[in-house]
């Protein structure tokens, strides 16, 4: 008889290990952040860390809580797209640090197409995706054919994208301020539709289809990577480029396609934010927006799983927005960025924690297996009735001659 399959414990499950490792990072990050607050000003440390965690719950009225919860979701959508960009490329063995620049060029073309050309929102979104894909494809071409590390070319393109965006959007900015024109006033048809979300979130006008679209894209990325031949080929290229080439896969083409998709995702995130009119672009910006780099944190905090990244993106944005409620007379508003940075730093230990848990569970399973073998009862002997007849028994009796 075949032995029944041994059921894995919950602790041995890869998904549970990734979740537990991420939760440990979050708790440790919050704890270290609290200790830092104690050193800065111990009298308000508890209230400050509480304000960061509570975020929109700092409001007493339910309507204001719901409205500000919507603001957190509005900024979660672009963060999720940036984290998916990092995740998709990382699954193929590429580190897309150019996600910040791709986010910027997506914001640039969507804002310019709206204000200068008066295009509808869906055309602005498509243009952002195309330009972001071209940005990522440049990095891919340099990697595939010139062997230029994608980190170096990505960082260079981040700054090129930033200052090019500043120059282009200067033509559609307000004359008396460094900010671009208000989309709702000058290009209302370019604003993303809210399809009734505004009513659900106490009249929050910035709620839009960007949020459900980002979640749908995350699920689609999960299916593509895990359930399709295309995703398998991309991951195979990431595991071993030479082996993929030997197997007949177009490894250079896969590198270019991967980084182009990563660029399209990040640029879509930029369009998701600025086409809601939640923020206006500042044409004197001298630093790349932190949204792209926060996407790196969300990708790793989510265990490099598209579904986990949805929750990780919300958490990162939740504590980032929560920093606005810290008492400014005691602490800087950037205290939430400090806590985020601590969590990001600890994200580097997620892989180590998962490895440690796997070793522990394997050792525990081996030990329990040995105990079972010692305590196992010997198999019962086969009864004589069930024994097959021997050669002597099979022979007929020989009769004697009378």
Instruction: Answer yes or no: is 353 within a domain.
Output: no
- pLDDT of 400 reads 46
Task: Find the mean pLDDT for residues 5-18.
Answer: 66
- pLDDT of 5 reads 52
Inter-residue contact 189 to 120 (CB < 8 Å): yes
Instruction: Answer yes or no: is 331 within a domain.
Output: no
Q: Specify the range with the lowest mean pLDDT, choosing from 106-115, 229-238, 287-296, 379-388.
A: 379-388
Which tokens sit at 386? 């069930």
Alpha-carbon distance of 77 to 253, in angstroms, equals 29
- pLDDT of 208 reads 92
Range of the domain at 76: 62-321
Is 134 a residue whose pLDDT tops 90?
A: yes
Alpha-carbon distance of 103 to 168, in angstroms, equals 15
Instruction: Answer yes or no: is 8 within a domain.
Output: no
For residue 182, the domain's CATH number is: 1.10.3470
Q: Per residue in 308-357, pLDDT tens?
A: 899 999 988 988 888 888 887 788 767 777 777 777 677 667 767 777 77
Is 31 a residue whose pLDDT tops 50?
A: yes
Is 376 a residue whose pLDDT tops 60?
A: no
Is 10 a residue whose pLDDT tops 80?
A: no
Inter-residue contact 121 to 107 (CB < 8 Å): no
Alpha-carbon distance of 347 to 362, in angstroms, equals 23
Residues 6+ positions from 396 with CB-CB distance below 8 Å:
none
Alpha-carbon distance of 243 to 202, in angstroms, equals 55
Task: Find the mean pLDDT for residues 207-231.
Answer: 93
Q: Per residue in 136-151, pLDDT tens?
A: 999 999 998 998 999 9
Q: Who has greater pLDDT, 209 or 331?
A: 209
Q: How many domains would you assign to the chain?
A: 1
Q: Per residue in 271-322, pLDDT tens?
A: 999 999 999 999 999 999 988 888 988 898 888 889 989 999 998 898 888 8
Instruction: Answer yes or no: is 46 within a domain.
Output: no
Instruction: Answer yes or no: is 177 within a domain.
Output: yes
Task: Find the mean pLDDT for residues 207-215.
Answer: 94
Instruction: Answer yes or no: is 150 within a domain.
Output: yes
Q: Who has greater pLDDT, 52 or 180?
A: 180
Task: Find the mean pLDDT for residues 210-218.
Answer: 95
Strand partners, 179: 282
- Binning pLDDT at 50, 70 and 90, where does residue 401 land? very low
Which tokens sit at 93? 């063995």
- Binning pLDDT at 50, 70 and 90, where does residue 257 land? very high
- pLDDT of 19 reads 78
Cα-based angle 13, 16, 21 (whole degrees, multiple of 5)? 125
Cα separation values, 186 from 113, 180, 259, Å: 12, 10, 34
- pLDDT of 199 reads 85
By C-alpha distance, which of 244, 298, 213, 261 is closest to 89?
A: 261
Q: What is the DSSP letter of 62?
A: H
Residue given tokens 């010692």 in the structure block: 374
Q: Per residue in 36-77, pLDDT tens?
A: 888 888 888 888 888 888 888 888 888 899 999 999 999 999
- pLDDT of 348 reads 66
Write phi, then psi, for 330 (nearest 5 degrees).
Answer: -105, -35
Q: Specify the range with the lowest mean pLDDT, choosing from 94-108, 213-227, 304-318, 385-399.
A: 385-399
Is 247 a residue whose pLDDT tops 60?
A: yes
Instruction: Answer yes or no: is 136 within a domain.
Output: yes
Inter-residue contact 50 to 382 (CB < 8 Å): no
Alpha-carbon distance of 326 to 51, in angstroms, equals 6
Helix or strand holding residue 33 (H, E): helix 14-40
Instruction: Answer yes or no: is 387 within a domain.
Output: no
Task: Find the mean pLDDT for residues 173-183.
Answer: 92
Phi-psi region of 332 (alpha: psi -120 to 50; beta: other; left: phi over 0): beta
Classified as helix, coil or strand, 209 is: coil
- Binning pLDDT at 50, 70 and 90, where does residue 210 land? very high
């Amino acid at each position: 008889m075949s032995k029944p399959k041994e059921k894995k414990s919950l602790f041995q499950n890869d998904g549970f290990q990734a979740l537990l490792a991420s939760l440990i990072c979050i708790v440790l990050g919050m704890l270290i952040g609290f200790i830092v607050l104690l050193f800065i000003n111990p009298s308000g440390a508890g209230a400050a860390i509480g304000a960061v965690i509570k975020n929109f719950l700092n409001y007493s009225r339910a309507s204001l809580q719901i409205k500000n919860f919507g603001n957190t979701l509005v900024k979660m959508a672009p963060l999720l797209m940036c984290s998916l960009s990092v995740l998709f490329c990382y699954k193929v063995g590429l580190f897309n640090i150019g996600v910040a620049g791709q986010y910027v060029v997506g914001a640039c073309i969507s804002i310019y197409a709206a204000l200068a050309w008066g295009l509808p929102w869906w055309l602005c979104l498509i243009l952002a995706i195309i330009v972001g894909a071209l940005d990522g494809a440049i990095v891919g071409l340099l990697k595939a054919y010139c062997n230029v590390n994608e980190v170096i070319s990505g960082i260079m393109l981040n700054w090129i994208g930033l200052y090019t965006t500043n120059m282009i959007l200067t033509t559609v900015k307000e004359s008396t301020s460094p900010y671009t024109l208000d989309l709702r006033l000058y290009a209302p048809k370019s604003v993303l539709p809210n399809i009734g979300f505004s009513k659900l979130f106490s009249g929050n006008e910035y709620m839009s289809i960007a949020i459900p679209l980002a979640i749908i894209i995350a699920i689609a990325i999960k299916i593509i990577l895990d359930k399709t031949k295309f995703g398998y080929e991309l991951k195979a290229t990431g595991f071993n480029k030479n082996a993929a080439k030997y197997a007949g896969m177009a490894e250079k083409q896969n590198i270019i396609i991967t980084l182009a998709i990563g660029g399209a995702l990040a640029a879509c995130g930029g369009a998701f934010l600025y086409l809601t009119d939640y923020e206006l672009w500042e044409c004197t910006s001298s630093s790349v927006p932190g949204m792209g780099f926060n996407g790196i944190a969300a990708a790793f905090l989510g265990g490099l799983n598209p579904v986990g990244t949805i929750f990780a993106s919300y958490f990162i944005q939740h504590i980032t927005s929560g920093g606005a409620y810290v008492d400014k007379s005691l602490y800087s508003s950037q205290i939430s960025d400090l806590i985020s940075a601590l969590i990001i730093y600890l994200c580097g230990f997620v892989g180590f924690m998962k490895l440690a848990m796997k070793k522990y569970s394997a050792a525990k399973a081996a030990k329990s297996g040995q105990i079972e073998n010692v305590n196992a009862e010997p198999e019962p002997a086969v009864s004589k009735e069930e024994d097959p007849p021997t050669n002597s028994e099979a022979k007929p009796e020989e009769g004697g001659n009378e």
